[in-house]
Structure 1
Amino acid sequence: MNIEMNTTEKFYLPVDGILEMFNSLTVQSRITHPVLQSTSLTPVPQHTKVSNISKTGMGIIKTVKGRWRPQDKRAVASRSSSSGNRQVSTDRLPKRSVDLLELGLTKPKNCHRIVVLGAPKVGKTNIMQRFLGKEFEENYEPTTEDFHRKLFHIGGEAYQVDLLDAASERNFPAKRRLSILTGDTFLLVFSLDDRESFDEVCELLNEIKAAKAKLLKLKHPARIPAVICGNKADSDAPRAVMRSEVTEILGEDVAFFETSAKDGTGLEGAFRALATLGGLPGETSPSRHQLISILSYQTMCISQRGRSGSRKRGLGAPCAAMDPLARRPSFTSDLRLVLRSSTKHNKPERCHIQ
């Protein structure tokens, strides 16, 4: 029987009648889909009347869709994994930030923190993005605080590099001092067309030297593992700072590079210098490793471990992954880190950040 009806007309039919009609239609059309065959449609308690036929149809569709969804998800996940697509389903992503040291997948000496400091609008964020393997962003957005974690696998060893952009700490000396004390190496950035930004880098360098000397109980400031970047080398604006001035004020042995976050000038040398000063492999430079997904990285690290827990050295190509859930450790954690580092030398002071 063919029933033609305008969907805007009122149509009343008991729920049981709707289900019987739907079952008869499925039998007549000989639906052979295994999911539909195995689905038992159980009516949900509701009013015995519906306002129109369009709502009736939507109720049937929702019931079938609800029964079908679990198997459909597994099918989509199976297709994604078999196709080699690098997009990973969100329910398979790590539930928390990946800390290689806590997981026992690396050694303490392979965990490193780079602190990035400098005046606003000098290109710190874009230089960091280049290190992370991302592209230059033309539109400027002020950075409040940025924390990134990049995990490397080089020569069978796992490395964890944290990058902290402490841009928001310019007006909070105690907070900035804590960031300085937790840093292993430093990336100081100024703009070649902004003299004041260079003066700020000079002040920051002196502050780092004083903080580290006080922490380690040194009578004389130690040489700081810092890389200085004079950014915006591609700019047509007049130079406010010349290379000769930088070497005269900071010394000839300073690791100084004229860079451009926009076209990449000088960045390879700056990243290589960061690796050398931090005792990291040269393959941590973005051009010398391949980026993989975080799940692939974790699987590879775990597979490198032997049954007894010892790590096996592999000869795979250098690779790295970004931790999508990386967040800056709490100030309590950073304070504990500072206290542990100070006890290696002398009894720590009561407060290190004042």
Structure 2
Amino acid sequence: MMLRRRNDESAPDIKVVLLGDSNVGKTAMIYSYTLNIFHKKISSTCMDSYEVTVNVKQKETILGICDTAGNEEFDTLRQLAYPGSDAFIICFSLVDRSSFEHVCSWVNELRIWELHSPVILVATKKDLRDAQNSSSSGFSEGQRLAHQIQAIRYIETSAYTQEGIKDAFDTAIMIKLNGVLNVEKRKKKCTLL
């Protein structure tokens, strides 16, 4: 697999956008998936687009991955990545409760823009939660939230151990290839109970 920054106007075969609060591990997920490495220190992303060639059903496919900033000051810039997306991966950190609580705001942002592409809910930093024996977000709580926001799947990941990383991106690829329908338009907003 070879990672390269997008620098032309041609559209990838499949486009995935990663959303979530700052420092939840979106960029680390991308590096882990594409380069099989873990960087401990990654500077905050403004917005980056990458392409990687993946072999899907014995055919080379270009996967476009858009890494977005979680900061409010980049709201307008982040939203430029949304058009043409085949799937959204909404990330939260298993060791940062506020990032879990902000998942609904990410879903609401997509709905405000009338974007109904499928969502995959991804929990990051599983290795840290497990190492700390933390009582932060558990698997069943993540599954309930995924159901509430009508996510296609809930996956717990670790960029450090690579657990679940390939599964998250493979799910996004299969959404496109299998023609998963867009999420039904919802009138009400997402709220955590």
Q: Is the TM value for this pair above 0.5? A: yes
Quick one: distance in 1 between partners of 2:157 and 2:57?
Answer: 29
Show the counterpart of 1:121.
Answer: 23
Deviation at 1:199, TM superposition (A): 1.9
Show the counterpart of 1:266.
Answer: 164
Residue identity matched to 2:46: T
Please state whether the residue corresponding to 2:88 is helix, strand or coil: strand
Match runs of 1:99-248 below 5 Å: 111-152=13-54, 154=56, 157-167=59-69, 170-213=72-115, 222=116, 224-235=117-128, 236-237=131-132, 238-248=134-144
Does the 8 A contact of 1:136 with 1:261 survive in 2? Answer: yes
Quick one: distance in 2 between partners of 1:227 and 1:259?
Answer: 12
Please state whether the residue corresponding to 1:181 is helix, strand or coil: coil
Does the 8 A contact of 2:47 with 2:78 survive in 1? Answer: no
Quick one: distance in 2 between partners of 1:174 and 1:155?
Answer: 36
Determine if the alignment matches structure 1 residue 276 to structure 2 residue 174: yes
Structure holding more strand per residue: 2
Show the counterpart of 2:154.
Answer: 256
Residue identity matched to 1:119: D
Deviation at 1:128, TM superposition (A): 0.4
Quick one: distance in 1 between partners of 2:74 and 2:139?
Answer: 31
Which structure ranks higher in relative contact order (CA pairs < 8 Å, sequence separation ≥ 6)? 2
Q: Structure 2: 5+ residue runs without aligned partners?
A: 1-5, 179-193
Please state whether the residue corresponding to 1:188 is helix, strand or coil: strand
Does the 8 A contact of 1:169 with 1:175 survive in 2? Answer: no
Please state whether the residue corresponding to 2:64 is helix, strand or coil: strand
Does the 8 A contact of 2:146 with 2:154 survive in 1? Answer: no
When structure 1 is superposed on structure 2, of 248-257 and 258-267 the one drifting more is: 248-257
Equivalent pairs: percent with the same residue?
24
Deviation at 1:186, TM superposition (A): 1.1
When structure 1 is superposed on structure 2, of 143-152 and 128-137 the one drifting more is: 143-152
Quick one: distance in 2 between partners of 1:250 and 1:148?
Answer: 26
Deviation at 1:156, TM superposition (A): 6.5
Quick one: distance in 1 between partners of 2:158 and 2:70?
Answer: 23
Does the 8 A contact of 1:116 with 1:188 survive in 2? Answer: yes
Q: How many residues align?
A: 168
| TM-score (structure 2 length as normaliser) | 0.73
Structure holding more helix per residue: 1
Deviation at 1:188, TM superposition (A): 1.4
Q: Structure 1: 5+ residue runs without aligned partners?
A: 1-95, 102-107, 214-221, 281-354
| TM-score (structure 1 length as normaliser) | 0.42
Change (3 A) 1:199 1:182: farther
Does the 8 A contact of 2:27 with 2:42 survive in 1? Answer: no
Give the number of the structure whose alpha-carbon radius of gyration is greater.
1
